[in-house]
Amino acid sequence: MATKINGVKGMNDLLPGQAARWQEMEAVAREVFALYGYREVRTPVVEPAQLFARGVGEATDIVKKEMYVFEDKGEDLLALRPEGTAGTVRAFIEHGAFVEGPQKWFYMGPMFRRERPQKGRYRQFHQIGCEAFGVAEPFIDAEQIALLDDYFARLGVRAELKLNTVGDGSCRPAYLQDLRAYLASRKGELCPDCNERMERNPLRVLDCKVESCQPVLAEAPRLLERLCPECAAHFDAVRSGLDALGVRYTVDTRLVRGLDYYVRTAYEFTSDALGSQSAVAGGGRYDGLVETLGGPPTPGIGFALGQERLAMILEKAGRAAPERKPVVFFVSADADGAREALRRAAELRRAGIACELDPRGGKMKAQFKQAERVGARYALVLGGNEVATGQAKLKDLATREETPVALAELVARVR
Ligand code: AMP
């Protein structure tokens, strides 16, 4: 045998036994998102690398360290998308969708980041995301968060909502200055990562999970107390919208979105079922992004949800993946029976009834075993005799009970 080739580290196969859960995740997303007026967009997995440098940020870990970048035969510098928002915004601008007024779009698909693989963190992972363009008013924030809350509820998943505001260009700069000064004053107590981020991206320091940093961060100045009146009013309105919708949340003043164009609303859903990588979805308002990518000033807010993590939660909650099983399994006794089985199976399938047969034929006992292995509800034995008389027996594989059935009435009877 030739040497076998394994898949790429950090990139997973999704086998048929697991796929049903993913299909459910996606079907429920489509259903719930449609109720809120979100429409699907599909953009390429490959984009110009520059899109992410500008749209995610040159200084972010994602772009600096984790992006898969390659030259397309010495011409353009391309990248595998590390997230879905930049490509969605690019398409929104490129196709002039902004002329039609506010738009709600969603996407789903694979994303790529060259991170250190661990539980809940992969190099190819999948996201489902929503983006609402063109509305600056806070009720859209509340509505989008409620959509996600609804989505989890439909799947029977419990996730905690954390909410925060990151201010905007009028209140954040002064706060950042104070934050930097505070962090610098306690430099020695902070981890190397925090020390490195302190100057460039002080908000991200608040997000640090290292144990020894926690006492310092707990005492850090809080933006919530220094918001400009507009940001304060926006935050209040988002909260009252969530209250009106009956969505429960906690305010987490250390929840941040790292990039400059994020303003005001930031939110995250977490689950205890996930361990250290506890975030299942994260979102925020990005009013500057469309403009940064060459479009007209357009407010926006979006989230992305990690499908691998959601699958882990569903699995842990013992939520069975609803896989479709055959209703009838045809067992053939001889060559005539095998031919009849082929025809009858086609007839049932045309009628929308799932069924199976063992194309290898062989011993009937083995075929019955196969019927049980695939989880069929009934077995139907066909041979020369059944073909000649047009009569057969439908055997309930759970109760072993046999019911006579005329082949001509098979579809109606099985139904
Ligand atoms: P982000 O795009 O970083 O805001 O992430 C949004 C969500 O995507 C997170 O809450 C995770 O559920 C998921 N996610 C992000 N990065 C990864 C990864 N490397 N592997 C698996 N899931 C991820």
What are the average pLDDT values for consecutive 10-residue runs of the chain, which has 415 residues? 95 92 95 98 98 89 92 93 97 96 97 94 98 97 98 95 95 93 92 87 87 91 94 98 97 83 93 87 95 96 97 88 89 95 96 94 94 96 95 95 95 91
Name 369's bridge partners: none
CB 287 within 8 A of CB 261: yes
Residues 297 and 332 in one domain: no
123 is a domain residue: yes
**Ligand 1, closest atom to CA 310?**
12
> CB of 308 closer than 6 A to ligand 1?
yes
> CB of 255 closer than 6 A to ligand 1?
no
CB 40 within 8 A of CB 105: yes
> CB of 304 closer than 6 A to ligand 1?
yes
Domain count, the chain: 2
pLDDT digits (tens, 9 = 90+) for 254-280: 998 766 678 999 999 999 988 877 899
| Residue 83 structural domain | 16-171+227-316
Last residue of a domain, one of 281, 316, 351: 316
Residues 149 and 64 in one domain: yes
Last residue of a domain, one of 261, 285, 316: 316
> CB of 402 closer than 6 A to ligand 1?
no
Separation of CA 306 and ligand 1 centre (Å): 5
307 is a domain residue: yes
pLDDT at 258: 62
How many CA atoms, within 13 angstroms, populate the side-chain half-sphere of residue 330?
A: 31
**CA dist 233 to 248, 249, 339, Å?**
19, 18, 73
> CB of 114 closer than 6 A to ligand 1?
no
Alpha carbon distance 268, 115 (integer Å): 21
**Ligand 1, closest atom to CA 279?**
10
221 is a domain residue: no
CATH number where 394 lies:
3.40.50.800
2 is a domain residue: no
Give the residue from 289, 295, 271 showing the smallest Cα distance to 83: 289
> CB of 81 closer than 6 A to ligand 1?
no
CATH number where 92 lies:
3.30.930.10
Alpha carbon distance 149, 128 (integer Å): 14
Residues 128 and 254 in one domain: yes
CA nearest ligand 1 atom 8, residue? 306
Residues 239 and 289 in one domain: yes
pTM higher than the cut 0.85: yes
Both tokens of 209, joined, read: 């999970």
pLDDT digits (tens, 9 = 90+) for 371-404: 999 999 999 999 999 999 999 999 999 999 999 9
> CB of 282 closer than 6 A to ligand 1?
yes
Alpha carbon distance 369, 373 (integer Å): 6
**Ligand 1, closest atom to CA 62?**
3
Give the residue from 382, 379, 384, 323 showing the smallest Cα distance to 356: 379
Greatest Cα-to-Cα distance within the chain, rounded to the nearest angstrom: 93
pLDDT digits (tens, 9 = 90+) for 110-165: 999 999 999 999 999 999 999 999 999 999 999 999 999 999 999 999 999 999 99
pLDDT at 257: 76
Alpha carbon distance 400, 42 (integer Å): 49
Question: Under 8 Å CB-to-CB from 62, ≥6 apart: which residues?
Answer: 52, 56, 82, 83, 113
> CB of 113 closer than 6 A to ligand 1?
yes
> CB of 159 closer than 6 A to ligand 1?
no
